[in-house]
A and B are shown apart, each in its own frame.
Chain A
Amino acid sequence: MNKIISVAKWEFLEKIKTRAFLISMIVTPVIIIAFAIMPTLLENHETDVTKLVGVVDKSETYFSGLQEKLKEEKLSGDLPRYVLVNLTPDSQATNNGNEDIVKYSDNKVFNDKVNSYLLIKNGGTDSVRLQWRSNSTANYKDIRNFEQAFNEVRIDLKFKKKGIDTSLKKYLSSQIAIQPIKINKEGEDKESDFLTVFFSSFVFIILLMIMIMSSGGMLVRSLLEEKSNRLIEILVSSCTPTQLLTGKILGLSMLNLFQIVIWTVIGIALTGAATISPEIFENIGLDLVYFVLGFIFYTGIFVGLGATATTEQEAQQFNSYISMILILPIVFAISTIQNPNSEIVHILSYFPLTTPSIMLLRLNISPVPLADILTTILILIISIFISIYLSSKIFKIGILSYGKRPTLRELINWIKEK
């Protein structure tokens, strides 16, 4: 036991001092946060400048209406967001066909007389068509504002024409939305939002992936180093291979737990700043249990297989196998969110390779019966013991084999060897 702790301590302290670890510890959350905040930041930092927008409407039906509606769109400091320019009379003056109106107005854009313009075809009829013409990619917000304004103007005009009370219009255009509520036995109703569930669960699954990949790579590389300079022989002449293996897994798990704690602290700090929804931390206790057990289980498998690698290239190859196994739960994750109570999801939560990620999802989507939680945790714990047992068999022989990588049949023989 002392030796296991010695190995674990060594693996933990030596890895924590490496530059790669420090970088990943800081960079990973920065990237995640950047992705989460970026869209909001970009939207808020839109240039606050009044835009000059042209309107071309041969039927001359909509201009004043549009102007009226869009007056309500203000920038900060009470400046209007849009100033509309009626390009129709000017273009009519050239007194030519449709083609020329468009060409004339396009030139206005190219000469920077207006930022863009709204082209209304077949105005006043039911087959009215709109084009937003601009020499850069259209801003979706502008389009939305103009669409809304135009449609209101169009309906107003129609109502007036038919002599219908325009107050009905409001009734027509108001839509009633369904509010999704997640209920639980304690009677606390919670607004459940697909995105929150998606993120709160996915953050954990993706963290699990990143950690297993990075620490898997770290582990295989350090094993390779120990193998190539025969340090491994000194190590296994000082303690048993199982002690060494267990110590390594323990050290790595501690390292990652430490990382999670740091990240959680950052996460909570951000929640305080209301950047991240607190719902992410709702099931944090159970989430962590599955997370840690899943991590140990996967690492247990990879240590055994990693011991068979004999060159850096093989280790690379090996890492790509790891990622394939890890993608598996992600594939099922989407269908789990859509249908958390389906038969297949239940089966997958009992299959140890997918248990951690499926359970991470299920926990956050719908209440999971206590029996399910206990069984899956038990399955994971048993799987950990089996994976470490088998891995240590392979590890024992693998760490002393140099040169050729073993075939599957040889691996099975290694496991059978006493």
Chain B
Amino acid sequence: MLSVKNLTKEYKNVTAVNDISFNVEPGKIFGLLGPNGAGKTTTIRIALNIIRPTSGSVSFEGKPITNEFSNDIGYLPEERGLYKKSKVIDVINYFASLKNLDKNRTADRAKYWLNKLGIENYRVNKIEELSKGNQQKVQFITAIIHDPKLLILDEPFSGFDPINQQLIRETILSFVNSGKVVILSTHQMETAEKLCSDILLLNKGKEVCKGSLSEIKRDFGTNNVKIEFEGNASFLISLPEVNSVDLYGIYAEVHLRRDVKPAEFLRNISDKLLINQFSVIEPTLNKIFIDAINSSNKK
């Protein structure tokens, strides 16, 4: 388990990370979310032991993170790029050697992953000769070749087509299932919603919300219903039970006041509108993200 306690990083003028704490358990993907400049990168760099926190601590399996731990970390940064003039296999070997992986194992695993990701034919090509997607696959391999205990992925899916996204997703999931600790940092709320069971939402260095995704959704406490209808639904906004309405032509998302029960609301409007379908909807992570960030910005 990776455990972050009361982490704070202050620079001269700004506090990049302000007193955040979270635990990442093996077998689950932890989502580190937040808008640009929220402090995600700083948090990751501290976890990677690249920079030191002003206060607070990071520990893995109960031990503080030290230089020796670097061999057990895999990291895929958001900005991609490798040594363009070098050969694929040389680059993979170099990064594996920096993780103290011995030559035989490196050779076996490089072969395995190159095959698995479908780029075995580019083994001795220069990086610059590969397509962007394939370059990213090579970089993904360099992050996982040493079978790290802690894997930190920053926007792992950006730049991949849907088929390759699927491939990478499966790979990440197989890592999680084998008991690794995985942190996923992303802006793509749909991805996070599908993959992460726990999240931490940061804004301006502070925790906005954290915990298991299902709890957060419950606590977010929205009272939303989706109505598919025929006719004119513009009157909905004028009803006293309604906070706001998103109209989409043949259906509408209605945000009800907290004390209003969806069933009562349905009864009230059923004579005014021909309703084809009525359902209570859970808030999307996207919605939670936007609302939470907006309300924290207002404070």
| Chain A interface residues toward B at CB < 8 A | 2-3, 6-7, 9-10, 13-14, 17-18, 225, 228-231, 233-240, 400
Contact = CB atoms under 8 A, between A and B. Distances in A.
A239 B70 contact: yes
A3 B48 CA distance: 17
Contacts of B48: 233, 237
A229 B81 contact: yes
Nearest to B52: A418
29 contacts: A6-B94, A6-B98, A10-B94, A14-B83, A14-B90, A18-B85, A225-B81, A228-B81, A229-B80, A230-B77, A230-B78, A230-B80, A233-B45, A233-B50, A233-B75, A233-B77, A234-B75, A234-B77, A237-B48, A237-B49, A237-B75, A238-B70, A238-B71, A238-B95, A239-B67, A239-B70, A239-B98, A400-B50, A400-B51
Contacts of A7: 98
Interface in B89-123: 90, 94-95, 97-100
A3 B82 contact: no
Contacts of A229: 79-82
Nearest to A236: B50
B148 to A, nearest CB: 10
B10 to A, nearest CB: 13
Contacts of A228: 81
Given A230-B77, A237-B75, A400 B45 contact: yes
A231 B81 contact: yes
A6 B97 contact: yes
A240 B77 CA distance: 18
A237 B94 contact: no
Contacts of B99: 238
Given A18-B85, A240-B67, A230 B79 contact: yes
Closest 8 CB pairs of A and B: A229-B81, A238-B98, A237-B48, A6-B97, A230-B77, A230-B79, A10-B94, A237-B75
Contacts of B94: 6, 10
Contacts of B209: none
B73 interface: yes
B86 interface: yes
B142 interface: yes
Contacts of B143: 234
A239 B50 CA distance: 9
A242 B85 CA distance: 25
Contacts of A13: 90
Contact of A235 (B49, B51, B71, B98): B98
Given A3-B100, A400-B45, A237 B80 contact: no
A46 to B, nearest CB: 48
Contacts of B51: 400
Nearest to A413: B12
Contacts of A230: 77-81
Contacts of B97: 2-3, 6, 9-10
A233 B77 CA distance: 8
Interface of B: 45, 48-51, 67, 70-71, 73, 75, 77-83, 85-86, 90, 94-95, 97-100, 142-143
Contacts of A234: 75, 77, 95, 142-143
A229 B100 CA distance: 23
B75 A2 contact: no
A13 B77 CA distance: 25
B50 A237 contact: yes
A3 B94 CA distance: 10
A14 B75 contact: no
Contacts of A3: 97-98, 100
A2 B94 CA distance: 12
A13 B90 CA distance: 10
A3 B99 CA distance: 8
Given A2-B97, A400-B51, 9 more contacts: A3-B100, A6-B94, A17-B85, A18-B85, A233-B77, A234-B143, A235-B98, A239-B98, A400-B50
B128 to A, nearest CB: 12
A36 B94 CA distance: 43
Contacts of B100: 2-3
B223 to A, nearest CB: 43
A200 to B, nearest CB: 37
A234 B153 CA distance: 12
A238 B83 CA distance: 16
B83 A231 contact: yes
B194 to A, nearest CB: 26
B135 to A, nearest CB: 10
B73 A237 contact: yes
B75 to A, nearest CB: 5
B25 to A, nearest CB: 22
A193 B70 CA distance: 59
Nearest to A238: B98
Contacts of B78: 230
Nearest to A229: B81
A230 B142 CA distance: 14
Contacts of B49: 237
Nearest to A247: B98
Contacts of B81: 225, 228-231
Contacts of A6: 94, 97-98
A22 B44 CA distance: 40
Contacts of B142: 234
A17 B100 CA distance: 24
A44 B280 CA distance: 100
A12 B49 CA distance: 27
Contacts of A9: 97
Contacts of B45: 233, 400
A2 B99 CA distance: 10
Contacts of B70: 237-239
Nearest to A2: B100
B163 to A, nearest CB: 25
Contacts of A10: 94, 97
Contacts of A231: 81-83
B17 to A, nearest CB: 15
A218 to B, nearest CB: 12
- For B50, B75, B79, the residue with the greatest tally of chain A CB atoms inside 10 Å of its CB is B50
A306 B19 CA distance: 34
